[in-house]
Amino acid sequence: MTTGRFITLEGGEGAGKSTQARLLAESLAAAGLPVLRTREPGGSPGAEAIRGLLLGNAMAKWDGVAECMLHFAARREHVVAAIRPALEAGMWVVCDRFADSTLAYQCFGQGVPRAVWDKLAEVALDGLRPDLTLVLDIAPEAGLRRVLQRAGQPAGAGPDRYETMGLAFHQRIHAGFRAIAAAEPERCLLLDASGSTASVTAAISQAVRARFALGAAG
């Protein structure tokens, strides 16, 4: 049984997931709630090791099903080692990407059959499902522009393997996230992420307060 709350942020490159995950976690913590902020692929030692394989540029192309399996192997580690224990301890888990990213990137983006995702999700997740998924929606051109600016910053790392895949790939992902949000409206909220950071933060804060019946501080 889990008693915490599981919130995921999804969307394409440069949508603002990492920025907003940090701000949401800070605001929940400021409201006195116990928070775990984490990310995928990764979030636990075993999963971070797999992240290096998936996002590094050493391997240009994986078989799509194998790539899907690697994402779910990392996710399984992350769920078992970090997410479930935190939820069982009553924490609010804020996760930067989760299973929807694999559906969008590997199935919509790379053409892996949906049935593969369904099977792997069943095995890896044991029924775990986010309580709320915030799908940050931005035109791929605009998101990639933000990412390139980020990569150009002196302290920033260069673009990862997915960021360098072409625009058509990112357009399929964008359509995929919209389809996911439309298919599960009770779990997912599609938010316009093209505005300022503050405007997106305000929309997220309002959505979280409404979904979990929190006071204004949350």
Ligand X SMILES: Nc1ncnc2c1ncn2[C@@H]1O[C@H](COP(=O)(O)OP(=O)(O)O)[C@@H](O)[C@H]1O
What residues line the site for ligand X (CB under 6 A)?
11, 13-19, 146-147, 149-150, 196-197, 200
Q: Which of 88, 183, 91 is nearest to 133 (CA)?
A: 183
In the complex with ligand X, which residue's Cβ is closer, 28 or 204? Answer: 204
57 binds, among Mg ion, ligand X, none (CB under 5 to 8 A by kind): none
CA 137, CA 175: separation in Å to the nearest integer?
Answer: 10
Query: Least distance (Å) from ligand X to the CB of residue 7?
Result: 15
Query: What dihedral do alpha carbons 43, 49, 50, 56 form, nearest 10°?
Result: 110
Query: Least distance (Å) from ligand X to the CB of residue 196?
Result: 5
CA 172, CA 177: separation in Å to the nearest integer?
Answer: 9
196 binds, among Mg ion, ligand X, none (CB under 5 to 8 A by kind): ligand X
- Tell me how far apart the terminal alpha carbons of the chain are, to the nearest angstrom: 24
190 binds, among ligand X, Mg ion, none (CB under 5 to 8 A by kind): none
18 lies in the binding site for Mg ion (CB under 5 A): yes
201 lies in the binding site for Mg ion (CB under 5 A): no
In the complex with Mg ion, which residue's Cβ is closer, 56 or 90? Answer: 56
137 binds, among ligand X, Mg ion, none (CB under 5 to 8 A by kind): none
55 lies in the binding site for Mg ion (CB under 5 A): no
Rg (CA), the chain: 16
Burial-class residue 145 by CB neighbours within 10 Å (0-12, 13-18, 19+).
middle
Interface with Mg ion by CB under 5 A: which residues? 17-18
